[in-house]
Amino acid sequence: MVKKNDQLVVTIEDIGSEGEGIGKYEGYTLFIKNTVVGDKVLVKVMKAGKSYGYAKLLEVIEASPYRVILRCDKAEKCGGCQIMHIDYAKQLEYKENKVRNCLARIGGFENIPMEPILGMEKPYYYRNKSQFPVGKNKEGKVIIGFYAERTHSIIDTDHCYIGAEINMPIIRFMRSFIEKYNIEPYNETKHMGLLRHILIRVGYTTGEVMVCLVINGRDFPHKKELVEGLRKIPGITSICLNINTAKTNVILGEEVIKVWGETYITDYIGSIKYRISPLSFFQVNPLQTHRLYQIALDYAGLTGDEVVWDLYCGIGTISLFLAKKARKVYGVEIIPQAIDDARTNANINGIENVEFFVGAAEEVFPRKHNEENIKADVIVVDPPRKGCDQKLLDTIISIAPKKVVYVSCDPATLARDLKYLNANGYELKKVRAVDQFAHSSHVETVALMIKV
Ligand code: SAH
Protein backbone atom coordinates (compact mmCIF):
# COMPACT_ATOMS: atom_id res chain seq x y z
CA MET A 1 0.00 0.00 0.00
CA VAL A 2 1.51 3.33 -1.07
CA LYS A 3 1.27 6.03 1.64
CA LYS A 4 2.08 9.69 1.99
CA ASN A 5 5.80 10.38 2.64
CA ASP A 6 6.88 7.01 1.22
CA GLN A 7 10.11 7.20 -0.73
CA LEU A 8 9.97 4.98 -3.79
CA VAL A 9 11.94 4.22 -6.92
CA VAL A 10 9.85 4.28 -10.09
CA THR A 11 10.37 4.23 -13.84
CA ILE A 12 8.46 6.80 -15.88
CA GLU A 13 6.30 5.23 -18.57
CA ASP A 14 4.12 7.99 -19.93
CA ILE A 15 3.46 11.74 -19.93
CA GLY A 16 0.20 13.16 -18.59
CA SER A 17 -1.96 15.94 -19.96
CA GLU A 18 -0.13 18.64 -17.98
CA GLY A 19 3.31 17.37 -19.01
CA GLU A 20 3.89 15.43 -15.77
CA GLY A 21 5.59 12.04 -15.83
CA ILE A 22 3.54 8.95 -15.02
CA GLY A 23 5.08 5.94 -13.32
CA LYS A 24 3.78 2.82 -11.56
CA TYR A 25 4.80 1.36 -8.21
CA GLU A 26 3.50 -2.20 -7.91
CA GLY A 27 0.56 -1.30 -10.15
CA TYR A 28 -0.18 1.95 -8.32
CA THR A 29 -0.07 5.05 -10.56
CA LEU A 30 1.99 8.08 -9.54
CA PHE A 31 2.08 11.48 -11.22
CA ILE A 32 5.50 13.11 -10.91
CA LYS A 33 6.36 16.54 -12.24
CA ASN A 34 9.74 17.25 -13.85
CA THR A 35 10.22 13.68 -15.03
CA VAL A 36 10.08 12.13 -18.50
CA VAL A 37 9.47 8.75 -20.11
CA GLY A 38 12.52 6.53 -19.51
CA ASP A 39 13.66 8.20 -16.27
CA LYS A 40 14.34 6.01 -13.25
CA VAL A 41 13.70 8.26 -10.26
CA LEU A 42 13.56 8.38 -6.49
CA VAL A 43 10.37 10.13 -5.42
CA LYS A 44 8.52 11.10 -2.27
CA VAL A 45 4.76 10.56 -2.18
CA MET A 46 2.98 13.81 -1.35
CA LYS A 47 -0.61 12.72 -1.74
CA ALA A 48 -1.94 9.17 -1.96
CA GLY A 49 -5.46 8.46 -3.17
CA LYS A 50 -7.12 5.10 -3.66
CA SER A 51 -5.95 4.32 -7.15
CA TYR A 52 -3.41 7.02 -7.87
CA GLY A 53 -1.24 9.61 -6.16
CA TYR A 54 1.18 12.49 -6.61
CA ALA A 55 4.87 12.39 -5.82
CA LYS A 56 7.78 14.79 -5.81
CA LEU A 57 11.03 14.13 -7.64
CA LEU A 58 13.93 13.69 -5.20
CA GLU A 59 16.63 12.31 -7.44
CA VAL A 60 17.13 11.14 -11.01
CA ILE A 61 18.78 7.74 -10.63
CA GLU A 62 19.01 6.98 -14.36
CA ALA A 63 18.27 9.77 -16.80
CA SER A 64 16.05 9.14 -19.80
CA PRO A 65 17.64 9.74 -23.23
CA TYR A 66 14.93 12.41 -23.67
CA ARG A 67 16.07 14.37 -20.63
CA VAL A 68 18.11 17.50 -21.36
CA ILE A 69 20.08 19.74 -19.06
CA LEU A 70 17.78 22.52 -17.88
CA ARG A 71 18.91 25.84 -19.29
CA CYS A 72 16.97 27.69 -16.64
CA ASP A 73 17.79 26.99 -13.02
CA LYS A 74 14.41 28.43 -11.98
CA ALA A 75 12.30 26.24 -14.28
CA GLU A 76 11.28 23.71 -11.63
CA LYS A 77 9.90 26.42 -9.35
CA CYS A 78 8.50 28.90 -11.85
CA GLY A 79 5.02 28.29 -13.21
CA GLY A 80 6.00 29.14 -16.79
CA CYS A 81 7.74 26.07 -18.23
CA GLN A 82 6.50 22.61 -17.26
CA ILE A 83 8.50 20.47 -19.69
CA MET A 84 11.77 22.30 -20.28
CA HIS A 85 13.65 19.21 -19.07
CA ILE A 86 12.41 17.28 -22.13
CA ASP A 87 14.25 17.37 -25.45
CA TYR A 88 12.35 19.66 -27.86
CA ALA A 89 11.77 16.97 -30.51
CA LYS A 90 10.26 14.77 -27.79
CA GLN A 91 8.11 17.70 -26.58
CA LEU A 92 6.67 17.93 -30.09
CA GLU A 93 6.04 14.20 -30.25
CA TYR A 94 4.28 14.40 -26.88
CA LYS A 95 2.05 17.25 -28.08
CA GLU A 96 1.16 15.53 -31.33
CA ASN A 97 0.31 12.34 -29.43
CA LYS A 98 -1.79 14.29 -26.97
CA VAL A 99 -3.95 15.57 -29.85
CA ARG A 100 -4.13 12.14 -31.50
CA ASN A 101 -5.06 10.42 -28.23
CA CYS A 102 -7.80 12.93 -27.47
CA LEU A 103 -9.27 12.51 -30.94
CA ALA A 104 -9.19 8.73 -30.57
CA ARG A 105 -10.32 8.38 -26.94
CA ILE A 106 -12.70 11.30 -26.54
CA GLY A 107 -13.64 11.86 -30.17
CA GLY A 108 -13.93 8.18 -31.12
CA PHE A 109 -12.08 8.81 -34.40
CA GLU A 110 -10.21 6.06 -36.19
CA ASN A 111 -7.65 6.56 -38.98
CA ILE A 112 -7.08 10.13 -37.92
CA PRO A 113 -5.88 12.26 -40.89
CA MET A 114 -3.08 13.93 -38.93
CA GLU A 115 -0.40 16.00 -40.55
CA PRO A 116 2.94 16.33 -38.75
CA ILE A 117 3.10 18.83 -35.89
CA LEU A 118 4.60 22.18 -36.79
CA GLY A 119 7.30 23.00 -34.25
CA MET A 120 9.22 26.19 -33.65
CA GLU A 121 12.52 26.79 -35.37
CA LYS A 122 13.88 28.59 -32.33
CA PRO A 123 12.14 27.35 -29.21
CA TYR A 124 13.69 30.00 -26.95
CA TYR A 125 13.13 33.75 -26.43
CA TYR A 126 9.85 33.63 -28.34
CA ARG A 127 7.31 35.37 -26.09
CA ASN A 128 6.54 38.96 -27.06
CA LYS A 129 5.00 39.88 -23.71
CA SER A 130 6.37 39.49 -20.18
CA GLN A 131 5.07 40.82 -16.89
CA PHE A 132 7.59 40.91 -14.06
CA PRO A 133 6.29 41.38 -10.51
CA VAL A 134 8.47 43.63 -8.32
CA GLY A 135 8.84 43.10 -4.57
CA LYS A 136 11.25 42.87 -1.65
CA ASN A 137 12.66 39.81 0.03
CA LYS A 138 12.92 39.29 3.80
CA GLU A 139 16.24 41.14 3.92
CA GLY A 140 14.65 44.13 2.21
CA LYS A 141 16.42 43.59 -1.11
CA VAL A 142 14.53 44.41 -4.32
CA ILE A 143 13.43 41.32 -6.22
CA ILE A 144 12.07 41.18 -9.77
CA GLY A 145 11.07 38.04 -11.58
CA PHE A 146 8.19 35.60 -11.77
CA TYR A 147 5.65 34.10 -9.44
CA ALA A 148 6.39 30.60 -8.24
CA GLU A 149 3.82 28.14 -9.49
CA ARG A 150 0.40 28.68 -7.88
CA THR A 151 1.69 31.28 -5.41
CA HIS A 152 2.49 34.94 -5.32
CA SER A 153 6.00 34.58 -3.96
CA ILE A 154 8.45 36.15 -6.38
CA ILE A 155 11.39 34.20 -7.77
CA ASP A 156 14.16 36.71 -8.35
CA THR A 157 15.60 36.49 -11.86
CA ASP A 158 17.00 38.58 -14.68
CA HIS A 159 16.82 35.81 -17.18
CA CYS A 160 13.85 34.07 -18.73
CA TYR A 161 14.60 31.72 -21.62
CA ILE A 162 11.22 32.05 -23.26
CA GLY A 163 10.76 35.82 -22.95
CA ALA A 164 12.32 38.27 -25.43
CA GLU A 165 16.08 38.75 -25.07
CA ILE A 166 15.66 42.48 -24.62
CA ASN A 167 13.88 41.83 -21.31
CA MET A 168 17.22 41.19 -19.65
CA PRO A 169 18.92 44.59 -20.13
CA ILE A 170 15.61 46.29 -19.31
CA ILE A 171 15.21 44.39 -16.04
CA ARG A 172 18.87 44.93 -15.13
CA PHE A 173 18.45 48.66 -15.69
CA MET A 174 15.18 48.78 -13.72
CA ARG A 175 16.75 46.92 -10.81
CA SER A 176 19.57 49.44 -10.47
CA PHE A 177 17.16 52.34 -11.01
CA ILE A 178 14.84 51.13 -8.23
CA GLU A 179 17.78 50.72 -5.86
CA LYS A 180 19.40 54.04 -6.76
CA TYR A 181 16.24 56.11 -6.32
CA ASN A 182 14.72 54.05 -3.52
CA ILE A 183 11.53 53.26 -5.39
CA GLU A 184 9.25 51.32 -3.08
CA PRO A 185 8.05 48.00 -4.56
CA TYR A 186 4.41 47.23 -4.02
CA ASN A 187 3.51 44.99 -1.11
CA GLU A 188 0.42 42.93 -1.92
CA THR A 189 -0.50 42.07 1.66
CA LYS A 190 -0.23 45.59 3.01
CA HIS A 191 -1.45 47.23 -0.22
CA MET A 192 1.41 49.71 0.06
CA GLY A 193 4.36 50.75 -2.08
CA LEU A 194 4.48 52.04 -5.65
CA LEU A 195 5.85 49.73 -8.32
CA ARG A 196 3.78 46.59 -8.92
CA HIS A 197 4.85 45.12 -12.24
CA ILE A 198 7.12 45.83 -15.18
CA LEU A 199 5.35 44.96 -18.42
CA ILE A 200 7.49 44.57 -21.54
CA ARG A 201 6.01 44.07 -25.01
CA VAL A 202 8.06 43.54 -28.14
CA GLY A 203 7.16 43.70 -31.82
CA TYR A 204 9.08 40.79 -33.32
CA THR A 205 8.79 42.08 -36.88
CA THR A 206 9.09 45.80 -36.20
CA GLY A 207 11.62 45.63 -33.36
CA GLU A 208 9.55 48.14 -31.37
CA VAL A 209 9.67 47.75 -27.59
CA MET A 210 7.33 48.99 -24.86
CA VAL A 211 8.19 49.33 -21.19
CA CYS A 212 5.12 49.91 -19.07
CA LEU A 213 5.41 50.35 -15.30
CA VAL A 214 2.31 49.28 -13.42
CA ILE A 215 2.03 51.52 -10.38
CA ASN A 216 -0.05 51.91 -7.26
CA GLY A 217 -0.21 55.70 -7.64
CA ARG A 218 -0.54 58.30 -10.34
CA ASP A 219 3.03 59.40 -10.91
CA PHE A 220 6.52 57.99 -10.97
CA PRO A 221 9.59 59.79 -9.58
CA HIS A 222 12.72 60.65 -11.63
CA LYS A 223 10.99 60.22 -14.97
CA LYS A 224 13.74 62.14 -16.76
CA GLU A 225 16.43 59.74 -15.54
CA LEU A 226 14.14 56.80 -16.25
CA VAL A 227 13.68 57.86 -19.87
CA GLU A 228 17.38 58.66 -20.33
CA GLY A 229 18.39 55.25 -18.99
CA LEU A 230 15.81 53.21 -20.89
CA ARG A 231 16.49 55.01 -24.17
CA LYS A 232 20.06 53.77 -24.08
CA ILE A 233 18.62 50.30 -24.70
CA PRO A 234 18.06 50.05 -28.46
CA GLY A 235 14.52 49.49 -29.71
CA ILE A 236 12.48 51.18 -27.00
CA THR A 237 9.74 53.26 -28.62
CA SER A 238 7.21 53.41 -25.82
CA ILE A 239 7.55 54.16 -22.12
CA CYS A 240 4.33 54.44 -20.17
CA LEU A 241 2.65 54.03 -16.82
CA ASN A 242 -0.35 51.89 -16.10
CA ILE A 243 -2.35 53.02 -13.08
CA ASN A 244 -3.53 50.23 -10.82
CA THR A 245 -4.38 51.46 -7.31
CA ALA A 246 -6.83 48.64 -6.55
CA LYS A 247 -6.24 45.93 -3.96
CA THR A 248 -6.42 43.15 -6.51
CA ASN A 249 -4.23 40.53 -8.09
CA VAL A 250 -5.34 41.61 -11.56
CA ILE A 251 -2.10 42.94 -13.02
CA LEU A 252 -3.24 45.91 -15.10
CA GLY A 253 -5.50 48.84 -14.32
CA GLU A 254 -7.48 50.62 -17.00
CA GLU A 255 -5.61 53.92 -17.34
CA VAL A 256 -2.40 54.35 -19.33
CA ILE A 257 -0.25 57.49 -19.12
CA LYS A 258 2.46 58.31 -21.62
CA VAL A 259 5.95 58.98 -20.28
CA TRP A 260 7.87 58.98 -23.54
CA GLY A 261 7.22 57.92 -27.15
CA GLU A 262 3.91 56.28 -27.98
CA THR A 263 1.49 54.42 -25.71
CA TYR A 264 1.48 51.50 -28.14
CA ILE A 265 3.80 49.48 -30.34
CA THR A 266 3.04 47.95 -33.71
CA ASP A 267 3.69 44.46 -34.98
CA TYR A 268 2.66 42.16 -37.82
CA ILE A 269 1.16 38.74 -38.29
CA GLY A 270 2.01 37.97 -41.90
CA SER A 271 1.31 41.22 -43.76
CA ILE A 272 -1.36 42.45 -41.34
CA LYS A 273 -0.33 45.24 -39.03
CA TYR A 274 -1.50 45.52 -35.41
CA ARG A 275 -1.47 48.32 -32.91
CA ILE A 276 -0.76 46.94 -29.45
CA SER A 277 -1.33 48.96 -26.28
CA PRO A 278 -0.49 47.75 -22.73
CA LEU A 279 -4.05 46.47 -22.38
CA SER A 280 -4.51 44.86 -25.80
CA PHE A 281 -4.76 41.16 -26.20
CA PHE A 282 -2.21 39.96 -28.76
CA GLN A 283 -0.96 36.48 -29.57
CA VAL A 284 2.25 35.90 -27.59
CA ASN A 285 4.10 34.06 -30.34
CA PRO A 286 3.33 35.87 -33.60
CA LEU A 287 5.66 33.74 -35.76
CA GLN A 288 3.90 30.49 -34.89
CA THR A 289 0.52 32.24 -34.91
CA HIS A 290 1.19 33.21 -38.50
CA ARG A 291 1.88 29.58 -39.37
CA LEU A 292 -1.22 28.45 -37.48
CA TYR A 293 -3.40 30.91 -39.40
CA GLN A 294 -1.75 29.90 -42.65
CA ILE A 295 -2.92 26.34 -42.00
CA ALA A 296 -6.43 27.60 -41.15
CA LEU A 297 -6.44 29.58 -44.43
CA ASP A 298 -5.21 26.59 -46.34
CA TYR A 299 -7.85 24.30 -44.78
CA ALA A 300 -10.56 26.87 -45.56
CA GLY A 301 -9.54 26.57 -49.24
CA LEU A 302 -10.92 30.00 -50.09
CA THR A 303 -11.31 31.09 -53.72
CA GLY A 304 -12.31 34.72 -53.10
CA ASP A 305 -16.03 34.08 -53.39
CA GLU A 306 -16.91 32.80 -49.92
CA VAL A 307 -18.74 34.29 -46.99
CA VAL A 308 -16.75 33.34 -43.90
CA TRP A 309 -17.64 33.59 -40.20
CA ASP A 310 -14.87 33.87 -37.65
CA LEU A 311 -16.51 32.99 -34.34
CA TYR A 312 -14.75 33.81 -31.04
CA CYS A 313 -12.69 36.25 -33.12
CA GLY A 314 -10.88 38.19 -30.35
CA ILE A 315 -9.13 41.20 -31.93
CA GLY A 316 -9.97 39.85 -35.38
CA THR A 317 -6.60 38.32 -36.21
CA ILE A 318 -8.06 35.35 -38.08
CA SER A 319 -10.78 37.47 -39.74
CA LEU A 320 -8.25 39.93 -41.16
CA PHE A 321 -5.94 37.15 -42.23
CA LEU A 322 -8.74 35.39 -44.15
CA ALA A 323 -10.26 38.57 -45.59
CA LYS A 324 -7.77 38.83 -48.45
CA LYS A 325 -9.00 35.50 -49.84
CA ALA A 326 -12.74 35.79 -49.05
CA ARG A 327 -15.66 37.83 -50.36
CA LYS A 328 -16.70 38.82 -46.87
CA VAL A 329 -15.71 37.90 -43.33
CA TYR A 330 -17.91 38.36 -40.26
CA GLY A 331 -16.27 38.21 -36.82
CA VAL A 332 -18.10 37.67 -33.53
CA GLU A 333 -16.55 38.21 -30.09
CA ILE A 334 -17.99 38.68 -26.61
CA ILE A 335 -15.55 41.32 -25.28
CA PRO A 336 -16.42 44.81 -26.59
CA GLN A 337 -12.84 46.20 -26.28
CA ALA A 338 -11.53 43.35 -28.41
CA ILE A 339 -14.04 44.29 -31.11
CA ASP A 340 -12.89 47.95 -30.87
CA ASP A 341 -9.35 46.70 -31.51
CA ALA A 342 -10.56 44.46 -34.35
CA ARG A 343 -12.20 47.44 -36.09
CA THR A 344 -9.13 49.63 -35.59
CA ASN A 345 -6.95 46.88 -37.01
CA ALA A 346 -9.22 46.54 -40.05
CA ASN A 347 -8.96 50.31 -40.59
CA ILE A 348 -5.20 50.64 -40.28
CA ASN A 349 -4.82 47.85 -42.83
CA GLY A 350 -7.46 49.27 -45.18
CA ILE A 351 -9.44 46.02 -45.08
CA GLU A 352 -13.06 46.73 -45.97
CA ASN A 353 -14.67 43.33 -46.48
CA VAL A 354 -14.90 42.52 -42.76
CA GLU A 355 -17.61 43.29 -40.26
CA PHE A 356 -17.46 42.69 -36.51
CA PHE A 357 -20.24 42.06 -34.02
CA VAL A 358 -20.09 42.14 -30.22
CA GLY A 359 -21.89 39.35 -28.43
CA ALA A 360 -21.95 35.64 -27.70
CA ALA A 361 -21.24 33.64 -30.84
CA GLU A 362 -24.12 31.26 -30.02
CA GLU A 363 -26.54 34.24 -29.91
CA VAL A 364 -25.25 36.58 -32.62
CA PHE A 365 -24.51 34.07 -35.34
CA PRO A 366 -27.95 32.39 -35.50
CA ARG A 367 -29.68 35.78 -35.16
CA LYS A 368 -27.77 37.41 -38.02
CA HIS A 369 -28.20 34.34 -40.12
CA ASN A 370 -31.97 34.12 -39.57
CA GLU A 371 -32.93 37.79 -39.47
CA GLU A 372 -30.63 39.18 -42.12
CA ASN A 373 -30.23 36.03 -44.10
CA ILE A 374 -26.43 36.26 -44.05
CA LYS A 375 -25.06 33.01 -45.35
CA ALA A 376 -22.01 31.01 -44.29
CA ASP A 377 -19.82 29.07 -46.71
CA VAL A 378 -17.02 28.50 -44.23
CA ILE A 379 -17.13 28.80 -40.45
CA VAL A 380 -13.97 29.21 -38.44
CA VAL A 381 -14.14 28.82 -34.66
CA ASP A 382 -11.36 29.58 -32.18
CA PRO A 383 -13.04 29.13 -28.80
CA PRO A 384 -11.49 29.37 -25.32
CA ARG A 385 -10.41 26.17 -23.54
CA LYS A 386 -13.92 25.08 -22.68
CA GLY A 387 -14.72 24.70 -26.38
CA CYS A 388 -17.84 25.66 -28.33
CA ASP A 389 -21.23 26.22 -26.80
CA GLN A 390 -23.61 23.35 -27.59
CA LYS A 391 -26.13 25.81 -29.04
CA LEU A 392 -23.47 27.07 -31.45
CA LEU A 393 -22.67 23.57 -32.66
CA ASP A 394 -26.39 22.96 -33.25
CA THR A 395 -26.63 26.19 -35.23
CA ILE A 396 -23.62 25.20 -37.35
CA ILE A 397 -25.22 21.82 -38.02
CA SER A 398 -28.54 23.36 -39.05
CA ILE A 399 -26.95 26.02 -41.28
CA ALA A 400 -24.70 23.32 -42.76
CA PRO A 401 -21.70 25.22 -44.18
CA LYS A 402 -19.47 23.19 -46.49
CA LYS A 403 -16.47 23.59 -44.24
CA VAL A 404 -15.82 24.11 -40.56
CA VAL A 405 -12.26 25.02 -39.58
CA TYR A 406 -11.75 24.48 -35.86
CA VAL A 407 -8.77 26.23 -34.20
CA SER A 408 -8.32 24.93 -30.68
CA CYS A 409 -6.14 25.46 -27.62
CA ASP A 410 -7.48 22.37 -25.84
CA PRO A 411 -7.42 18.99 -27.60
CA ALA A 412 -9.92 17.45 -25.15
CA THR A 413 -12.74 19.91 -25.89
CA LEU A 414 -11.75 19.91 -29.57
CA ALA A 415 -12.25 16.13 -29.66
CA ARG A 416 -15.61 16.41 -27.85
CA ASP A 417 -16.90 19.04 -30.30
CA LEU A 418 -15.60 17.28 -33.41
CA LYS A 419 -17.29 14.09 -32.26
CA TYR A 420 -20.61 15.95 -32.15
CA LEU A 421 -20.11 17.46 -35.61
CA ASN A 422 -19.06 14.06 -36.89
CA ALA A 423 -22.24 12.47 -35.57
CA ASN A 424 -24.22 15.18 -37.40
CA GLY A 425 -23.00 15.09 -40.97
CA TYR A 426 -19.38 16.23 -40.89
CA GLU A 427 -16.25 14.28 -41.67
CA LEU A 428 -12.81 14.96 -40.24
CA LYS A 429 -10.57 15.68 -43.26
CA LYS A 430 -7.36 17.07 -41.85
CA VAL A 431 -5.85 17.93 -38.52
CA ARG A 432 -2.55 19.49 -37.59
CA ALA A 433 -0.99 20.52 -34.29
CA VAL A 434 1.15 23.64 -33.98
CA ASP A 435 3.50 24.44 -31.13
CA GLN A 436 3.08 28.02 -30.01
CA PHE A 437 4.45 27.54 -26.50
CA ALA A 438 7.68 25.54 -26.36
CA HIS A 439 8.46 24.14 -22.88
CA SER A 440 4.85 24.36 -21.76
CA SER A 441 2.38 21.51 -22.08
CA HIS A 442 0.02 23.58 -24.26
CA VAL A 443 -0.69 22.74 -27.87
CA GLU A 444 -2.76 24.42 -30.57
CA THR A 445 -4.60 22.43 -33.20
CA VAL A 446 -6.34 23.18 -36.50
CA ALA A 447 -8.93 20.72 -37.81
CA LEU A 448 -10.94 20.71 -41.02
CA MET A 449 -14.45 19.24 -41.00
CA ILE A 450 -16.26 18.82 -44.33
CA LYS A 451 -20.02 18.42 -44.82
CA VAL A 452 -20.75 15.02 -46.33
N1 SAH B 1 -8.53 34.30 -32.65
C2 SAH B 1 -8.55 35.21 -31.54
C3 SAH B 1 -8.42 34.55 -30.18
C4 SAH B 1 -9.55 33.72 -29.77
S5 SAH B 1 -9.41 33.29 -28.08
C6 SAH B 1 -7.41 36.19 -31.64
O7 SAH B 1 -6.38 35.85 -32.18
O8 SAH B 1 -7.54 37.28 -31.13
C9 SAH B 1 -11.11 33.02 -27.70
C10 SAH B 1 -11.96 34.27 -27.67
O11 SAH B 1 -13.31 33.89 -27.46
C12 SAH B 1 -11.64 35.24 -26.56
O13 SAH B 1 -11.34 36.50 -27.15
C14 SAH B 1 -12.92 35.31 -25.71
O15 SAH B 1 -13.18 36.61 -25.22
C16 SAH B 1 -13.97 34.92 -26.72
N17 SAH B 1 -15.23 34.34 -26.22
C18 SAH B 1 -15.43 33.57 -25.11
N19 SAH B 1 -16.71 33.14 -25.08
C20 SAH B 1 -17.34 33.64 -26.17
C21 SAH B 1 -18.66 33.52 -26.70
N22 SAH B 1 -19.58 32.80 -26.07
N23 SAH B 1 -18.93 34.15 -27.86
C24 SAH B 1 -17.99 34.86 -28.51
N25 SAH B 1 -16.72 35.01 -28.05
C26 SAH B 1 -16.40 34.41 -26.90
| 277 falls within a domain | no
The model's pTM is 0.93
pLDDT band at 327 (very low <50, low <70, confident <90, very high): very high
The stretch 214-227 carries a mean pLDDT of 97
Residue 145: give its domain's CATH number: 2.40.50.1070
Residue 215 and residue 301 in one domain: no
Which region among 91-105, 275-289, 320-334, 394-408 has the lowest average model confidence (pLDDT)? 275-289
In a domain, 17, yes or no: yes
Q: What is the dihedral of CA 341, 312, 197, 249, to 10 degrees?
A: 130
Domain boundary among the residues 241, 269, 297 is at 269
The pLDDT of residue 152 is 84
Is 388 among the residues known to form the active site? no
Residue 333 assigned ligand-binding role:
yes
DSSP run (H or E) holding 228? helix 223-231
Query: Ligand 1 centroid vs 446 CA: distance in angstroms?
Result: 16
Q: Looking at residue 269, what is its pLDDT? A: 95
262 in a known ligand binding site: no
Residue 79 pLDDT exceeds 80: no
Q: In the structure, what pLDDT confidence band is assigned to residue 277 with cuts at 50, 70 and 90?
A: very high
| Closest CA to ligand 1's atom 6 | 314
Gap from CA of 334 to ligand 1 centroid (Å): 7
Quick one: 142 and 114 in the same domain?
no
Give the pLDDT of residue 272: 95
176 and 302 co-located in one domain: no
Which of 243, 269, 295 marks a domain boundary?
269
> Do 152 and 224 reside in the same domain of the chain?
yes
Amino acid, res. 55: A
437 and 323, same structural domain?
A: yes
Q: Which of 269, 291, 333, 406 to mutate to test the pocket of ligand 1 (most atoms within 8 A of CB)?
A: 333
Q: How many domains does the chain have?
A: 3
**How many whole angstroms separate alpha carbon 40 and alpha carbon 61?**
5
Flag whether 74 is in a domain: no
> Does one domain contain both 32 and 101?
no
Known binder of ligand: residue 28? no
Q: Which of 269, 304, 335 is the last residue of a domain?
A: 269
Looking at residue 158, its pLDDT comes to 80
Query: Do the domain assignments include residue 101?
Result: yes
Q: Is residue 279 part of a domain?
A: no
- What mean pLDDT, rounded, does the chain reach? 95
| 98 & 144 share domain | no
Domain, as residue range, for 63: 7-67
Which CATH number fits the domain that encloses residue 117?
Answer: 3.40.50.150
Report the pLDDT value the prediction gives residue 263, as an integer from 0 to 100. Answer: 94
Beta strand 142-147 with 354-358: parallel, antiparallel or unpaired?
Answer: unpaired
What is the reported pLDDT for 266? 95
The confidence score (pLDDT) of residue 77 equals: 83
Ligand 1: nearest atom to the Cα of 315? 8
The answer to whether residues 297 and 442 belong to one domain is yes
Which ligand 1 atom minimizes the distance to the CA of 392? 22
Angstrom distance (rounded) from CA 172 to CA 308: 47
Q: Whose CA is nearest to atom 21 of ligand 1?
A: 360
Q: Domain for residue 2, yes or no?
A: no
Q: What percent of the chain has pLDDT over 70?
A: 100
Residue 176 has φ and ψ, to the nearest 5°, of -70, -35
Alpha helices in 44-181 (DSSP H): 88-105, 167-180
- Indicate if the pLDDT at residue 15 is higher than 90: yes
The enclosing domain of 16 has a CATH number of: 2.40.50.140
pLDDT digits (tens, 9 = 90+) for 420-440: 999 999 999 999 999 999 999
Q: What is the mean pLDDT of residues 374-386?
A: 96
Q: What is the pLDDT of residues 28-76, one digit of tens each?
A: 999 999 999 999 999 999 999 999 999 999 999 999 999 999 999 888 8
Q: What is the DSSP secondary-structure string of 161-212?
A: SSB-TTHHHHHHHHHHHHHHTTPPBPBTTTTB-SEEEEEEEE-TTT--EEEE
In a domain, residue 103? The reply is: yes
Whether residue 292 is contained in a domain is answered as: yes
Same domain, 295 and 430: yes
CB atoms within 10 A of CB 2: 17
Spatial contact of 310 and 318, defined as CB atoms under 8 Å apart:
yes
197, 254: one domain: yes
Q: What percent of the chain has pLDDT over 90?
A: 92
Ligand 1 centroid – CA 426 distance (Å)? 23
The reply, when asked if residue 283 is annotated as ligand binding, is: yes
Same structural domain, 311 and 421: yes
Residues 6+ apart with CB under 8 A from 28: 2, 51, 52, 53
Above 90 in pLDDT, residue 78?
A: no
Q: How far apart are CA 202 and CA 271, in angstroms?
A: 17
38 in the same domain as 181: no
